[in-house]
Structure 1
Amino acid sequence: MLRLLSHFRTSDRFADALRVLLAMLGVALYGVLAKQPHVMIGLLLGVIAAALAETEDAWRRRLQALIGTLLCFLIAAFVVEALFAMPWAFAAALTLGSFLLVMLGAASPRYATIASATLLLAVYTMIGMDQPGAAQLPIWREPLLLTAGAAWYGVLATVWSALFVQHPVRQSLARLYDTLGAYLDAKAQLFEPMHDLPVAALRAELAQINTRVVEALNDARGTLIDRLDRRRPHAALERSLSLYLAAQDIHERASSSHYPYEALAEAFFHSDVMFRGQRLMRALATACRDRANAERTGSAFRMPPMLRGIVHDLRASIDRQRRAPEPPAPALLQALDRLADNLDRLQERIACAEAVEAETVDRSLHDPSPTGPIEALRRIRVQMTPSSARFRHALRLSLAMLIGYLVLRAVHPEQGYWILLTVMLVCQPSHGATRVRVLQRVGGTLIGLLVGWALLKLFPSPHAQLVGTVAASVLFFVTRFRRYLIASAAVTVLVLLAFNQVGNGFELIAPRLLDTVLGGAIAVAVTLLVLPDWRARELQALFAALLRAQAAYLEAIAAQYASGKRDDLPYRRARRDAHNADAELSAHLTQARDDPAGQHADADLVLRMLAASQTLLGHLSTLGAHRHRLSASADAVALQAQARDLATRLRALAEPQRADARPVAHHTAAWDDVDVPPGDASLQQRDGRHLVMAQLGLLYRQLPVLQELATQTRNPSS
């Protein structure tokens, strides 16, 4: 039990749970002392809406967001109150409002969170208006109660943020290093020395984990940005910034691919080299997780002492291969040397992640938030097209809300607004995700109704039920991201116990179950039938965006082989954009495989596209991980010429009218003209010339594969 409590205290949900607990206890205490249970219901729902609108900002920006959130809540609640008795006007406002609130999220993730919570509060207002006797109450009562509950939680959360500045930063960094550990573990599977290594399937799995790494990097950047805004941060934030920048470098090195893994596995099948490389990768994964635990608990990080020995064993194994009577090809040995160098540098980077790198003089971060209302409106306007996933989601959700309202008017106008709540909560951007969410919601509701019924029978005391309400609310916020089935059960128990304070909770059991099933069925039907043929068109756009992002990343890398390594903001943005594009493609393909509307896409095409994307990014990351200024200016000029040529070809593949043209066979004549002392292979290796030549050659080999995939995204049946 103590171990469980200790684990919970260090989890990223502990602070959220504690804030919700304090807010709910405050509301419950007020309700008991004031003897006004009707008031308490509105306050509880306001607390829930405000907690769902919360973002991990510093207290100043959080206060600004709170003021905007409360204003949105007030407007939404008063609109519901004003139009509730006019069905047709209400239906029109519900449809238009749902669409506009979803589209508002195009401006930034913060806007999206506030907009979603505003729609939720509007539905809460409908549920409050639907209760017996609500029509006789003043029009301002329900909106003010809901907003007061939201304000109470918002003030509590803002004070918490001002007192515990470092906690969200530490938690986001802990999640980041945990995902890096998972990525290194998955990458280690590619070092398995076996014939017919399933590289495509392993790379597809790696792509899924890479998506989580990219999300964790973006989350960590978001928690750091406004805490570093326009002021010199104190030592703790400087350390956190160093850890974040180190994580970017670790990710680039972990993503690198020095040589085709099938060839390495085949060449060293009877050697221990691959095993030792795999062992080192897994030890580095463990070190990343140890660093995550250190951040989470606030303890000192210690690098596992065995790592140095593992690195030494790998280098000794490579030297034995070099001294063998029949040594492997020089290209294979050079690839192993570069791999060992990269893993050694990766080990050093994990060990000294808090240190400021000499190359990272520019430690600024790019803020993705809109610079003002005009920029926010521009982002929304860009998304106003059927080719936008957000536009399609807004259209589907607004249509589903309208259908849900019509159904509740036709089936049972009393207690029917739970249908709209279910539609709003389960309707996801993809049909596959919606279907999963509906199953979890219905299952959780059924479990919650059974548990709630039992609690109502066992604990008839209102005070005991109030304790259960507070406990259920905390459980909901602890589990809502990772255990939605449990979260649905918890919020169902919360509803039964809370509404039993002012009426008969048993009367809610049947309507709640029926409305959840109806709302889920509406959401599934709408996401299946509305714009069902979008996937092939969006797949082409995402693949084109990936090729353009990889081309820009290549150009940014090549520039630093001429000027020297600098982890400046433009380079980090180019690298992040490339990984973001890969993550978006990976997420899209995962959804497509789970979506009946997307199952016309060939499963082999899905795997090959993920594998090609990861292969391309792996070779680019290798060039990025080893970038330095080439000693010969002619080499730098030749590299930039080849990089421009390759980037041009990648961008050509991204253009529909040019992608079908056959790529011209590559040549490396520019490198052949460089004056390198004959027979001085060590100079070539030290200078990095051989590495650059090898990686460019591997990138050029990918062009026919990428061309075939680009053609198939436009003609899935070909």
Structure 2
Amino acid sequence: MIDRLRNFADSTPFTNALKVTVASVVPVLTLSYFDRFDVGFTIALGAFLTYPSDIPSNLRHKIKGVLVAALIVAGSNLLVNVLHPYPWALYPVVTAAIFFLSMIGIYGHRANMVSFSGLLALALAFGHLQQGWDILIHAGLMFVGGLFYLLVSLCFQFLSPHRYTELQLAECIKLTAKYLKLRGDLWHVEANRAKIIEKQLHLQVELNAIHENIREILIRNRPDSGSSNQHRKMLLVFISLVDVMELALSTSFDHSKLHQKFSAHPKVLTTYQQIAYNLGATLKQLQKSIANHQKYVSKHQLFKDLELLERVIAEYNDNTHDAEGVWMLTNMLYYVEKQVEKISVIERAFLQAVSSQDFKGRDRELEKFLAPQYYPWRTFRENLTFSSMHFRHALRLTITILIGFAIGALLPLQNVYWILLTVIVIMRPGYGLTKERSWQRIFGTVLGGLIAFALLSFIHNPVAIGVFTVIALILGFTYTATNYKIGATFVTIYVVFVYGLLTPDIEHVIQFRIVDTLAGAGLAFVANYFFWPSWEFLNVRVHLKKSIEANRDYLIQISKFYNEKGQVTTDYRLARKNAFVEIGNLMASFQRMSQEPRSKQRALPQLYKLVVLNHTLLSSSASLGTYIQSHKTTSASEAFNVVVAGVIRNLNRATALLDGQTETESPANEEVALRFTELKNLREKELKQAHLYGAQALELKMQEAQLVIEQLIWLTNLSENIVGTSARISKI
């Protein structure tokens, strides 16, 4: 329990909640001492509304983002208060402002959070209207609150500059360990492999997101962090984790075939499975040492595990003299050796200083792996069309908020802006997430209202209520990021406690809070279904096409490297990263589609089949790429290039079908079949000429021939299946 509490207090959500709590509570307490509670509350409100824009990133971008958010928050409040006496101007201008703020989310996560801050400020402005000079004073104090929040946030960052990155790395290590454990689970004889692969795909989505986040922090912050040992250590660990994931994804086995092959010798597979588990367990131990600020002490001896597997393979060879079986086991041993090597690099990074030589040139041109940070007006203009999901969401949100205004004008509701806040907080571009958040918000509001009412029935001391208010605020912001239902519960408790301090009529506050939340959640849910909905079946084909194209580009780079040899280029690594990202985006799109009404889940089985086929194609390509990177390979034959060209042609056919193009005829595959025969004949010739090579040279040559031929056959079969499934989907 103590460890859990310590981890909770050290977590990023708790730290963020603490920042906004300090920035909100300090002005209220300080100015209340001078009988200026209203001023303190306004400054706290500015800090509270600016907080969402504070996302981890480069320090310069962080400061700019928070400052822009503070200006938009103050400007939104000023706009509503200045125009409120003139309804004929207020509502058209506010409508345009809502639409504009909703649209700037096209520029990425930071812009989306700044947009969120501005929309909240617009809604809250209708609940705290000012007159005369108070309009400027109120807006100015809110801007001061934004600046104060920025100051608090910078203080937290300077007190612990690396902690956020460490925790992100710890989470990345934890997810990678889970992925490796799932690979171990695949070796059970009766394993549900389809279910395990689905779990791996879900993990891939999470890993892609956290990889992008860590890149943003580590690479953009390189000029700020200099070449400190701590920064080098974290960068080396991250690069090694990406390598571990690539190696895991690139090495796939036919488990059923292997169980059948070694049914009389199960010891070799159980020994390998235990090593697979130990790889994940070692990473899990590393994650715990980072999260708990403990010195890393390895509990697993991976090199001894390797020696044991080598002995088991030697025993199998002595007992069976099965050359094919030994080659299979040798490939498995090679995979484990490479993983142990990568994990050992991570272990050493935690035990000793890291120098630039440890990167072996891998830290060059890292900036190319980041998304560009610029905001051209052209992007905004190009999205002003119904084909843009962002445009439809902005229009939907704007109309829903206007309907909220109308409901507030027609019905005797106490705080109409609560309806608007609920709509802004709940409504998302996708139907599934909006539906989920609606129910979570309703549940949290009702439960939080009941708990707050029960507590206020027994607690009447203002100091005690104030303490509970601060606690509820911290817990509300902490859990909002991880468990929205619990977060909404504590936020409701916080709101009710604040009103409990300001007004004795708490029963009506709770009643109207629940009614307004129900109205806002209902509006958001209905609007997402009827107002130009962004059903995922409209977008999933785009993600399918991008994933297939990314796989194609990655395979082109692999073929180029196999032909030209030399050093791995930045273009190769970028193509690999893009292929990994796009398969994650595809799976995320499929997840969103599975949360939508059944009537909107068009061709769901075929789409899932394409997700799995693309994932498997990526795994097979990465397997080929990893092998030729780490081995001295022979010259690529013409047959190899012809077969790869056939696979690329198939992938191009699939993207054309998904674009709605029709095929007039299917290209002949006779040449590809002949090239496969040529490759196999070459392999047989090498077997017959075994006496011309040394034993080790022959073994390496045969490993290359076996892996390349098997992967080419597999890539061809997969690409043909992708074409066939794409053709069926294009007809639906």
TM-score (norm 2): 0.89
CA drift at 1:587: 0.9
Determine the structure 1 residue equivalent to 2:577. Answer: 576
> 2:25, 2:44 within 8 Å by CA — same for their partners in 1?
no
1:216 equivalent among 210, 226, 234: 210
CA distance in 1, matches of 2:49, 2:307: 55
> 1:193, 1:269 within 8 Å by CA — same for their partners in 2?
no
CA distance in 2, matches of 1:86, 1:660: 64
1:257 equivalent among 251, 255, 262: 251
Task: Point out the more displaced range, 532-541 or 414-423.
Answer: 532-541
Pair 1:204 & 2:198 matched: yes
> 2:220, 2:367 within 8 Å by CA — same for their partners in 1?
no
Aligned pairs for 1:122-141 within 5 A: 122-129=122-129, 134=130, 138-141=134-137
Which SS does the other structure have where 1:258 is aligned?
coil
2:162 equivalent among 152, 156, 166: 166
CA drift at 1:223: 1.2
Determine the structure 1 residue equivalent to 2:612. Answer: 611
Structure 2 residue runs of 5 or longer lacking an equivalent are none
> 1:362, 1:568 within 8 Å by CA — same for their partners in 2?
no
Determine the structure 2 residue equivalent to 1:524. Answer: 525
Determine the structure 2 residue equivalent to 1:342. Answer: 335
> 1:660, 1:707 within 8 Å by CA — same for their partners in 2?
no
Aligned pairs for 1:124-523 within 5 A: 124-129=124-129, 134=130, 138-194=134-190, 198-229=192-223, 232-269=226-263, 271-325=266-320, 327=322, 330=324, 333-353=326-346, 354=349, 356-358=358-360, 360=362, 362=364, 364-366=366-368, 368-374=370-376, 377-412=377-412, 414-504=414-504, 505-523=506-524
Structure 1 pair 624–390 and aligned structure 2 pair: CA distance change class (3 A) = farther
Aligned residue pair count:
706
CA drift at 1:48: 2.2
Task: Point out the more displaced range, 679-688 or 67-76.
Answer: 679-688
| RMSD of aligned residue pairs (Cα, Å) | 2.9
Structure 1 pair 159–24 and aligned structure 2 pair: CA distance change class (3 A) = same
Which SS does the other structure have where 2:428 is aligned?
coil
Aligned pairs for 1:675-690 within 5 A: 677-679=686-688, 680=690, 683=697, 685-687=699-701, 688-690=704-706
CA drift at 1:235: 1.6
CA distance in 2, matches of 1:583, 1:598: 25
CA distance in 1, matches of 2:252, 2:115: 45
> 1:171, 1:296 within 8 Å by CA — same for their partners in 2?
yes
Structure 1 pair 344–390 and aligned structure 2 pair: CA distance change class (3 A) = farther
Q: Kindly provide the CA deviation profile for residues 8-39 of structure 1, in whole angstroms up to 9, marking residues without a partner as x.
A: 24323342233234323312322431223333
CA drift at 1:256: 1.9
Which SS does the other structure have where 1:140 is aligned?
helix
Counterpart residue identity of residue 309, structure 1:
K
Structure 1 pair 393–309 and aligned structure 2 pair: CA distance change class (3 A) = farther
CA distance in 1, matches of 2:202, 2:332: 23
CA distance in 2, matches of 1:565, 1:109: 38
> 1:400, 1:423 within 8 Å by CA — same for their partners in 2?
yes
Counterpart residue identity of residue 152, structure 1:
F
Counterpart residue identity of residue 235, structure 2:
L
Counterpart residue identity of residue 151, structure 1:
L
CA distance in 1, matches of 2:176, 2:332: 18
Structure 1 pair 568–86 and aligned structure 2 pair: CA distance change class (3 A) = farther
Task: Point out the more displaced range, 460-469 or 701-710.
Answer: 460-469
CA drift at 1:567: 5.4
Structure 1 pair 285–633 and aligned structure 2 pair: CA distance change class (3 A) = closer
Task: Point out the more displaced range, 353-362 or 673-682.
Answer: 673-682
Structure 1 residue runs of 5 or longer lacking an equivalent are none
CA distance in 1, matches of 2:213, 2:35: 43
Aligned pairs for 1:522-561 within 5 A: 522-532=523-533, 534-561=535-562
CA distance in 1, matches of 2:473, 2:567: 48
CA distance in 1, matches of 2:289, 2:566: 30
Q: Kindly provide the CA deviation profile for residues 421-455 of structure 1, in whole angstroms up to 9, marking residues without a partner as x.
A: 11111112221111111111011011111122123
> 1:660, 1:711 within 8 Å by CA — same for their partners in 2?
no
> 2:562, 2:635 within 8 Å by CA — same for their partners in 1?
no
Counterpart residue identity of residue 296, structure 1:
A
Task: Point out the more displaced range, 600-609 or 534-543.
Answer: 600-609
TM-score (norm 1): 0.91
Aligned pairs for 1:20-169 within 5 A: 20-87=20-87, 89-129=89-129, 134=130, 138-169=134-165
CA drift at 1:254: 1.4
Task: Give aligned-pair identity as a percent.
Answer: 20
CA drift at 1:41: 3.2
Higher relative contact order (CA 8 A, sep 6+): 1
> 1:193, 1:274 within 8 Å by CA — same for their partners in 2?
no
CA drift at 1:569: 3.4
Structure 1 pair 490–648 and aligned structure 2 pair: CA distance change class (3 A) = same
Counterpart residue identity of residue 452, structure 1:
A
CA distance in 1, matches of 2:4, 2:627: 43
CA distance in 1, matches of 2:212, 2:363: 21
> 1:108, 1:370 within 8 Å by CA — same for their partners in 2?
no
Which SS does the other structure have where 2:629 is aligned?
coil
CA drift at 1:584: 1.1
Which SS does the other structure have where 1:412 is aligned?
coil
> 2:14, 2:474 within 8 Å by CA — same for their partners in 1?
no
CA distance in 2, matches of 1:440, 1:19: 25
CA distance in 1, matches of 2:8, 2:39: 32
CA drift at 1:81: 1.7
Structure 1 pair 76–336 and aligned structure 2 pair: CA distance change class (3 A) = farther
> 1:58, 1:161 within 8 Å by CA — same for their partners in 2?
no
Structure 1 pair 440–269 and aligned structure 2 pair: CA distance change class (3 A) = farther
Task: Point out the more displaced range, 662-671 or 688-697.
Answer: 662-671
CA distance in 2, matches of 1:459, 1:241: 51
Q: Kindly provide the CA deviation profile for residues 252-278 of structure 1, in whole angstroms up to 9, marking residues without a partner as x.
A: 011123333343344345524443333
Counterpart residue identity of residue 701, structure 1:
N
Q: Kindly provide the CA deviation profile for residues 499-536 of structure 1, in whole angstroms up to 9, marking residues without a partner as x.
A: 33333444321111001111111111111223347433
2:729 equivalent among 689, 713, 716: 713
Q: Kindly provide the CA deviation profile for residues 348-377 of structure 1, in whole angstroms up to 9, marking residues without a partner as x.
A: 211212362436262623364545443xx3
CA drift at 1:186: 2.2
Counterpart residue identity of residue 149, structure 2:
Y
CA drift at 1:288: 1.6
Counterpart residue identity of residue 312, structure 1:
E
Structure 1 pair 626–22 and aligned structure 2 pair: CA distance change class (3 A) = same
Counterpart residue identity of residue 301, structure 2:
M
CA distance in 1, matches of 2:525, 2:93: 23
Larger % of helix: which?
A: 2
CA distance in 2, matches of 1:565, 1:340: 26
Q: Kindly provide the CA deviation profile for residues 398-443 of structure 1, in whole angstroms up to 9, marking residues without a partner as x.
A: 2322222222222235411101111111112221111111111011
Structure 1 pair 2–25 and aligned structure 2 pair: CA distance change class (3 A) = farther
CA drift at 1:457: 2.5
CA distance in 2, matches of 1:77, 1:525: 28
CA distance in 2, matches of 1:661, 1:201: 37
CA distance in 1, matches of 2:600, 2:267: 42
